[in-house]
A and B are shown apart, each in its own frame.
Chain A
């Protein structure tokens, strides 16, 4: 277990060309010892590159990596003592399940007793005990992925376990149990876990801290609550949450009000210094509610459709020719045609040039 520090890291796969394209733009970040992190972002945003840089499979074009304040940038993968699990199961076909799990320990010359103890412990956690003597190639895809995961968890002294969308091939029920197991392992052994995913629910339920990436940039790092309530960019607002955050192009009306068309919306943000024209208002559908009568920040909207999701109703309506979505308590009656919606000022996020102010 170690504190992992990435200092001014950037990476390009074609650094020697005249116009190199950077898969990762310069960033610095620290992963604290024993914490759980999720890296969240769309495909091709640089998540896997970041993991490969930490594990040593890719050498960064610029910057330094430190494990517990010791620089490891130039160390090869085998010397870093790090575990990585890939998206698809990678198993040693010619070995049994036991030998697969024992392999990382054998490579590092652990004693036979220690190997047996660790393999038995990990195979119990991952429900692989009954397959230990079977050839690994005969197992199903999700069992094979458990072996990959097991090889990552079998070393107690590992600096961190990096997982690159490891539960993609695993069925939903087992996925849920495994995420819980991973959390338990993290709490028990204080292993630093870094989990790459493009599934926000997976990230939200797994991690202490979420790192949101887009196009090689780290756009926000924070607690799931912060990411949800105060997304730092419109991308995070759009990417996190289902449905995505409601975003409206607005104009500044006063020091704390914006106009959506002819409607004034009050916010808790100080807008007195904003000169820019590109201003957007963001509000989560979860925070919008039906209002019984007109008051401040109440808007009259035309209902387009109501979808019943069982635990809530999703109301899609039109506000000044723009779509607005709100999650309404399913027991609450909704009148037909038009309805008043209340937009709480304290939950409004104002974005200037796509960034939160």
Chain B
């Protein structure tokens, strides 16, 4: 029974790994192919089946005037919008989460849990519901088709994630830690940033990771709130798909799009595997 379970477990892991890795291998291989190698016949092995070329990669940095697609600017736009919105969301979300975890709020029938749920509910409704209000709002304040406008919208989208994760994290940090800091001579603000916050770094990293992932992969709002002035990476990548799909540059751009998330995952994994998430204050 035990052996059967182990075989089943490893079979599933192998299958899942193939399922996850295969598209990447396909993208890596395709990014080094040219038109002929993609469209003539099925090819797998470089130098044997096809002659590898860097053309698919080169077009990513060439300007459109020279026949390229230039994803450099959208790439940095995406980095700017994602990082700025994530940072602001984490700062505001952490403060909100600390307040929700440590103080009791009571407005009519609304209590702390209701306020936390209100934050999460922003993510429950379909994005299309928010698209028109956001469009009108940005157009009213003159921030449509601008990086700052996108940052504002992304803060609204990412802050619930930060609040949700950090409330749960702070709830697991014993209240005695704050109280000890107060007794030791901190004022409430010092207790927060000198004692509670350093103990919450694992939570901040996880919240930051989710904010970066959700900010980086968003296509919907980047698509409807920008036109010609500003373009984010997901929109640019999708726009590559024209009447003749350039699979080679599409694969290369998909790989460079995913690269930052893979780096984030490796960095965060180190913190997660240390078991630091448990709060472990006792």
Using a CB–CB cutoff of 8 Å, the interface residues on chain A facing chain B are: 55-57, 76-78, 81-84, 86, 88-94, 103-104, 107-108, 137, 141, 144, 148, 151
Contact = CB atoms under 8 A, between A and B. Distances in A.
B185 A93 contact: no
Contact of A77 (B182, B201, B280): B182
Nearest to A95: B198
A148 B180 CA distance: 9
A90 B176 contact: yes
Contacts of B190: 107
A86 B182 contact: no
Interface of B: 174, 176-177, 179-180, 182-187, 190, 195, 198-199, 201, 280-282
Contacts of A81: 185
A88 B282 contact: yes
Contacts of B182: 56-57, 76-78
Most buried by A among B177, B180, B280: B180
Contacts of B180: 84, 86, 90, 148, 151
27 contacts: A55-B183, A57-B182, A76-B187, A77-B179, A77-B182, A78-B182, A78-B187, A81-B185, A84-B179, A86-B180, A88-B176, A88-B282, A89-B282, A90-B174, A90-B179, A90-B282, A91-B281, A92-B198, A93-B280, A93-B281, A104-B183, A107-B184, A137-B280, A141-B282, A144-B282, A148-B180, A151-B184
Given A56-B182, A57-B182, 8 more contacts: A57-B179, A81-B185, A90-B174, A91-B281, A92-B177, A92-B195, A93-B280, A103-B184
A154 to B, nearest CB: 9
A108 B187 CA distance: 11
A76 B190 CA distance: 14
Nearest to A81: B185
Given A93-B280, A137-B280, A141-B282, A107 B176 contact: no
B185 A94 contact: no
A304 B66 CA distance: 107
A83 B184 CA distance: 7
Contacts of A91: 281
Contacts of B186: 78, 107
A94 B199 contact: yes
A90 B182 CA distance: 13
Contacts of A55: 183
A92 B199 contact: yes
A78 B192 CA distance: 14
Contacts of B184: 103-104, 107, 151
B172 to A, nearest CB: 13
B265 to A, nearest CB: 24
A244 to B, nearest CB: 33
A82 B174 CA distance: 20
B185 A86 contact: no
B183 A77 contact: yes
A184 to B, nearest CB: 23
Nearest to A104: B184
Nearest to B187: A78
Nearest to B190: A107
A118 to B, nearest CB: 13
A205 B177 CA distance: 30
Closest 8 interchain pairs by CB? A107-B185, A104-B184, A77-B182, A94-B198, A90-B180, A90-B176, A84-B183, A108-B185
Nearest to B182: A77
B177 A78 contact: no
A84 B180 CA distance: 7
A104 B185 contact: yes
Contacts of A92: 177, 195, 198-199
A79 to B, nearest CB: 9
A83 B176 contact: no
A144 B198 CA distance: 18
A91 B199 CA distance: 10
A141 B184 CA distance: 20
Contact of A90 (B177, B187, B198): B177
A90 B177 CA distance: 6
A224 B212 CA distance: 63
A192 to B, nearest CB: 15
A151 B183 CA distance: 10
Nearest to B198: A94
A104 B195 CA distance: 12
A151 B201 CA distance: 24
Nearest to A144: B282
A47 to B, nearest CB: 16
Nearest to A86: B176
Contacts of A90: 174, 176-177, 179-180, 281-282
A104 to B, nearest CB: 4
Contacts of A151: 180, 184
A82 B183 contact: yes
B281 to A, nearest CB: 6
A78 B190 CA distance: 11
Contacts of A86: 176, 179-180
Most buried by B among A77, A86, A89, A108: A77
